[in-house]
Amino acid sequence: MTEFSTNAVTFPNSTDHKLPLPLLIAQDLQFSLRTVERNGQLYYRLQDWLVGVVDEPFAIQKIRTLRRSYYFAAHADAVYLVHEQDAKKRTQAIEHVTDKLLYAITQDLRVTGKRRDTTAVLTIKDYLARAGAFTDRLRREPDKVFDLIGVDPDDALNAVIEAYRKRGKDDRWIAARLMGKIKRQRFLGALKAAVASYLSGRQYAAATDQIYQGLWRRTSAELKKEMELSARANLRDNQPFLALTYQGLAEEVAAQKLADRDRLSWYEALLIIRQVANLIGVQAAATSQFLKVDIATGKPLLTEGVKAGVA
């Protein structure tokens, strides 16, 4: 893995409102937060953040817990490992995370006692709420947000729907997107339970690409390129209703098939996922031809050039 040098940030007393929100918070609470930039994305050193808002023992224990629970693997797209040397010259891989994952981890913190953390974490949660981070979390993970902010589920659901409507999405699309999130979590959970070995973030991504390749004969990266999306863009937030519907169906069926098995090899699990996606992909391709639309992207179906799930 390519190594990048991290940058220690020393903040002035005056607030620079051009700084990203995590750096503004670090400035406000007067702690150093190192960053690394990769492909235009800024990653924050998680241990610096947790030490700053809580304390060092808490930070060490929290990161150990996240590692043991495969949290970082499940969020691999938002994590970048930087190799650093400790005091004994041993090389260690240190987690750096995106701002949104930083917010999610902070919002999930449960702190008690007389540490600095009790006040600091509450202050940061309030800061994030006022800055819109809780609204963003509500959009991304509506099933987890209620306990964090004490909001009524009906009000929260209405907020999610309204946020998507402001982005031009209709109610059919919104329902498919939210249900798709649930089905995806079920799919990834079934995959984790069925495979005997530890799965890395790249393997979860590869499993998802088996869904895309079986349905659309294209990978996530290829679909993003066709849709002129950036590499960091969320593909499903930009796909049409029918694409979300077929992907949700494929993940639901794959989850059921995986749930019937245990101690599978990685290859065996991928084979099951691809078989399911291929099966549903036949019907998806027929629907694309019938509608004259490439369901995966929403673009008009061309005689040549657009694959539309046809092998």
Token pair, residue 76, equals 């691999």
Closest Cα to residue 141, out of 168, 166, 121, 159?
159
Instruction: Please report, in tens digits, the pLDDT of each residue of the chain (311 residues total).
Output: 334 434 433 333 334 446 788 888 788 778 899 999 998 899 999 999 999 888 888 899 999 999 988 889 888 889 999 999 888 888 999 999 998 899 888 877 765 554 444 556 666 666 665 555 555 555 555 555 555 444 566 766 777 788 888 889 999 999 999 999 899 989 999 999 999 888 888 898 899 999 999 999 999 999 999 999 998 888 999 999 999 999 999 999 999 999 988 889 999 999 999 999 999 999 999 999 999 999 999 999 875 544 555 44
Dihedral angle at the C-alpha atoms of 254, 227, 101, 32, nearest 10 degrees? 150
Specify the DSSP element, H or E, that contains 293. Answer: strand 293-294
Distance separating alpha carbons of residues 120 and 114, to the nearest angstrom: 11
Distance separating alpha carbons of residues 25 and 11, to the nearest angstrom: 10
Contacts of 225 (CB under 8 A, 6+ apart): none
Token pair, residue 99, equals 């701002």
Contacts of 309 (CB under 8 A, 6+ apart): 215, 216, 217, 281, 284, 285, 288, 295, 296
Contacts of 65 (CB under 8 A, 6+ apart): none
